Structure 1
Amino acid sequence: MTAQAGWLVEQLPRAMATDQVLHDLVSAFEQVHDTVRERIDAIEHQVDTGLASPDMLQYLGSWLGVMLEPTDPAEYRRSMVREVGKLLGWRGTRYGVEALLAAATGARVTVLDGGGVYGSNDKIPPPDPVVVVQMDHTGHLTERQVMAFLESELPLGAKVQLDVRFQQQTARGRARPPSTGDDNA
């Protein structure tokens, strides 16, 4: 919604409107107002992860506590900010860690820990600081990046045991058709 140019100057009393200095000062206030108003009107598009500019997406990610790599694909960065925003209330919990790590890697993730909610008559098990994280693969992340993520999401003092079922294999040699059974591949 853009206001008509001169809208604020037109509201000056006739005696003040004839003063050129006052006219110019009020015109400057009008321009500042219009610029701020346009930015406020567009804010819904800037905080929408599907429409936000890359810089705004980076800012939103940092505000939510997720560091985005500029080299990651744009849709991945948008998805991460969206997921972190949805799971903000679950951060630090088993469900939150599973969901965020699954979103970051595209892998199936299971978190096993000794935490829980106990009633006044329930027997409380001894504390166990070990959190076991099982995942199919690390996606495009390295194990070191996954461990750094886990250290930032899990409670202080938790010891992480990471179990990755399928390790990424680095390609060796050159591509060739499947063997016919007569060579030792």
Structure 2
Amino acid sequence: MSRDQDWLLRQLPLGMVSEDFFVRFVSIFQEQAGTLVAHADNLAHLADLKLTPPEMIRWMAQWLGLPGIDPEYSEAVQRRILATAAATLQLRGTTAGLTRLLELYSGGPVIVSEGGGVFEQGEAPVGPAWVVMEVPSTGLLEEADFLSLVLDEVPAHVHAEIWVAQRRIWPTPERLAEREAS
């Protein structure tokens, strides 16, 4: 947005504009004020995923609860991660939300099976809630990072099983032994 050079001076009352002192005094601050107003004019663009700089993308990801986005990822991948996180925020912990995030992280098709649903009173299955997630790979992530991100999306009361390329990575045999012992 462009402004006339004397935009700040024109905001003074007419009686002050006729005084040379006020004109010179306000002129001192006009350039700095112009910089501040230009920053304010750009605020709407900073939150626009298509226009914001990559550094802002990583910062915005933290607003949505993501632990961070690796700056080594391409700008397109960073923007896709943020867009998916924003789109799935209201779906967090649901089958649809898990599916979209798993597709993002793994880079491929996923299968999410779960035992939840809506049941008539007294007809709900006995036992804990469960979810089984199957992905072809962990995508760009190390297995431990992938596991941490996925488990963070699963509701705490739900027993989760995660399979990567037909190999169960969660729960680990140690975790299963702990569960059986308790």
TM-score normalised to the size of structure 1?
A: 0.75
> Percent same amino acid at aligned positions?
27
Give aligned pairs, total: 165
Q: Is residue 126 from structure 1 mapped to residue 135 from structure 2 by the alignment?
A: no
CA distance in 1, matches of 2:55, 2:101: 22
Instruction: Return the offset for 1:69.
Output: 0.8
- Which amino acid is the alignment partner of residue 148 of structure 2? A
Residue 136 of structure 1 corresponds to 136
SS at match of 2:116: coil
CA distance in 1, matches of 2:89, 2:32: 35
Residue 77 of structure 2 corresponds to 76
Contact 1:132 1:162 in 2 (8 A): yes
* Cα distance per residue 1:149-177 (max 9 Å; x no partner): 1221111233321111267xxxxxxxxxx
- Which amino acid is the alignment partner of residue 82 of structure 2? V
Q: 1:21 to 1:161 in 2, by over 3 A?
A: same
SS at match of 1:131: strand
Moved more, 149-158 or 88-97: 149-158
Q: Is residue 12 from structure 1 mapped to residue 12 from structure 2 by the alignment?
A: yes
CA distance in 2, matches of 1:10, 1:51: 32
Unaligned runs of 5+ in 2: 168-182
* Cα distance per residue 1:56-98 (max 9 Å; x no partner): 1111111122220111222111111111112221111111011
Residue 165 of structure 1 corresponds to 165
* Cα distance per residue 1:105-164 (max 9 Å; x no partner): 2022122222212344x6111232432111111112122112101221111233321111
CA distance in 2, matches of 1:38, 1:46: 12
Q: Over aligned residues, Cα RMSD in angstroms?
A: 2.5
CA distance in 1, matches of 2:50, 2:120: 43
CA distance in 2, matches of 1:159, 1:33: 57
- Which amino acid is the alignment partner of residue 42 of structure 1? N
CA distance in 1, matches of 2:22, 2:32: 17
Instruction: Return the offset for 1:46.
Output: 2.3
TM-score normalised to the size of structure 2?
A: 0.76
Unaligned runs of 5+ in 1: 168-185
More helix by share: 2
Query: Quick check: which has more Rg, 1 or 2?
Result: 1
